[in-house]
Structure formats: structure tokens, C-alpha cells
Chain A
């Protein structure tokens, strides 16, 4: 975790990316047919995670490719992603998180191993 004092948007985005990737059922972050949104910082950008801040709130957006399973429920997976992203952001001091938009851009049909 990048929990130094800085906590720039990119650092938060990177941490969220790592946290969301560990959610069961998530294959990839920021992969999809189209170019997805990203968070930009000096010398780096984190694709698939957008951190937006105003004076009072933090809004997040996460682009996810899911792993297909017959029992898959994307609304439930979205909730898990939302929770992971929110917890990570708030742990790094980006709070309060108001909204986490989750976009499922792609689905990996073969267990996510290939490609």
C-alpha cells in the first residue's frame, strides 16, 4: 500500500486497482473493447480507475472485466467491487466516498486465464 503522506489521486487509484483485482470474480481492471477511463499523474496513469474529488466528496469509477460462471451475478459482483474500492479509498484518507460507479466492460469466458 502506498500509504505515505502524499496520497495523490494516482496513488489512491493504484491501491484501489490492486484491491479490486483481489475481489473474487474480477478478471481484469480497465480492460475492454474501448479505451477506458484512467487516473493520470506524473509519469504514470492508472487505467480503469477514476478518482474524482470535490471539496466534500470523493467519487470513484472502476472498469472491470468479470470472469464468467453460470452462477455469476453482476449486481452482486458490483457490490463487492464497490465495497473494496470504497474501503481502500477511505483507508487512504480519500473520504467520504459518495459514489462508486462500476462498469463491466468485458467478460472472460474461459476462467480468465487466457489472453
Chain B
């Protein structure tokens, strides 16, 4: 979505929230004159919500509360920006152009390397870039009976060398959380 659309939706959502909140306040008993004495037109509109009977008041509260929630949802949806991680990692950004690689691709590579280690059934990883290199954290489901520390170490080594080979970027740390896979989970990977 373009920045303009984003802005427009955000402004509309804010306006909805503010408008609904004002009506809600009046409906629950705040004097219209105390909110909008500076704008007679608005004050007159708001006065219609003063002293409603019980049914109307309940409806008004429900509808305005719903609008506020809707506005908040829209606002939240419009700001997924501070996502913790970009979907792509930059490997080079020289004068002749950038080289980027998708984070999911790197994670898949790490998962594949890990799953090639005997005893590993499944591996899920997360990749983060720090100044000292990549930090890869992962959770391995390991066959019962496997030697956990040995498996974890092999997983670390495989991931480090594969990622360094493919990306040409130093891997500073691979943290593996290895857990024995419960027998009941029927280790089929194909759904």
C-alpha cells in the first residue's frame, strides 16, 4: 500500500475513533456543552445523544464502542512497519548495486542442513544480523534415543559452514535448542 493510502486510512481511523469517543462520552452522561462549546454546530448534534432512554443508550454505547474498536484495528493494521525483521538481508550494497537474500531462504537453508543431521526430525530457525555476524537460533526436534549434545553440535557446525558458504557472511553464533520429539507426534513431515 502506498504511503498516501496508509496516511488516508490512518486519518480516517483516527477520525472514527475520536468521533465515536465523543458520542460515547455524551451518551454516558457527559454534557455536550462541556465538550463542544467552541463549535455550536457540533454541540447541537451532540445534544441529541444526551439523556437517551435505556435502550437507545445501550445501542449508542455498543455502536460507538464497536466503531472505536474498528478504528483501533485499522490503525494497528496500518502500522505493521516496525516489524522486527526485514524480509530480506543485505549481503552487499556497493556502488554497482545491492545483493539481497530473503530471510526465509536462509532459514530454509539452515533447516535443511539441520535436518540432514542424523536424529533430527525438524528444525525451525530464526536469523538475525548483528555487527559481528549472523546469529542463528533454532529449535530442533530430535529422535528419542539420540545423543542430544552431539546432535546439537553437529547441527551447529553444519549450519555455520553452509550459511557461510552460501552467503559469504560470517556466522557469529548458532544457538540450538534441541528437544526430544515425543513419540506420539508421529514424525511424518508430509502433511
Indicate whether A and B are direct neighbours in the complex (CB within 8 Å).
no
B-side interface residues toward A, CB under 8 Å? none
